[in-house]
């Protein structure tokens, strides 16, 4: 558990599911929201790096991240099983910060903690699909847009017209 004057970061677990789903539903358009089964399947992976940030016992942000095969994102809503988790890269599936958490640095702290855990587990790289115009934010964290194969580009497009494939080495912090 990591403590900050403003919030506490700890692993996201099943007891946080309802609060995380409520935050997801307030933050994203319906086509990007996952049901409880798909959401929980990511938290249940053996190589999960899912984290939660709380202020006064209230969830203000969460991170859904897990080990993955490189350049192989799953569709929104896909229910993962333990065999789906690869061990090539850290895949950042979702970083969601509530209105109450914005501007506090909580998103960066969740990402930094996930990077530390992933590097300790032997993962050298992080990948993600930036949605809803968030590519600029991810660039501030050292991510860059990368070229996609046609198959990968089709997966990225399913996350919305503004979705971007991004990656970075996580062995060196920005």
3-class DSSP assignment, residue 6: coil
Give tens-digit pLDDT for 49-107: 999 999 999 999 999 999 999 999 999 999 999 888 788 999 999 999 999 999 999 99
Spelled out in words, what is the top-level CATH class assigned to the domain 2-169?
alpha beta
Query: How high does pLDDT run on average in the chain?
Result: 94
142: alpha, beta or left, given left = phi > 0 and alpha = psi -120 to 50? Answer: left
Domain boundaries, the chain: 2-169
> Which residue would you say has higher pLDDT here, 5 or 48?
48
Instruction: Identify whether the C-beta of residue 87 lies closer than 8 Å to the C-beta of residue 47.
Output: yes
| 174 in Cβ contact with 142 (< 8 Å) | yes
Q: Is 158 helix (H, G, I), strand (E, B) or coil?
A: coil
DSSP secondary structure string, 85-141? --SSEEEEEEEEE-TTTTTTTHHHHHHHHHHHHHHHTT--EEEEEE-TTTHHHHHHT
Residue with tokens 């070229």: 147
């Amino acid at each position: 558990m990591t403590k900050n004057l403003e919030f506490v970061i700890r692993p996201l677990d099943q007891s946080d599911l309802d609060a995380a789903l409520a935050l997801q539903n307030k933050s994203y358009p319906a086509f990007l929201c996952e049901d409880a089964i798909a959401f929980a399947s990511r938290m249940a992976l053996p190589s999960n790096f899912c984290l939660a940030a709380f202020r006064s016992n209230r969830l203000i942000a969460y991170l859904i991240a897990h080990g993955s095969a490189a350049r192989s994102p799953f569709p929104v809503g896909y229910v993962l099983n333990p065999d789906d988790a690869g061990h090539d890269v850290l895949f950042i599936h979702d970083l969601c910060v509530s209105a109450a958490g914005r501007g506090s640095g909580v998103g960066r702290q969740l990402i930094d903690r996930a990077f530390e855990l992933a590097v300790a587990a032997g993962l050298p790289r992080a990948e993600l699909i930036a949605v809803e115009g968030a590519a600029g934010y991810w660039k501030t964290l050292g991510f860059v847009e990368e070229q996609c194969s046609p198959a990968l580009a089709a997966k990225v497009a399913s996350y919305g017209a503004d979705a971007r494939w991004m990656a970075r080495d996580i062995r060196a912090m920005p």
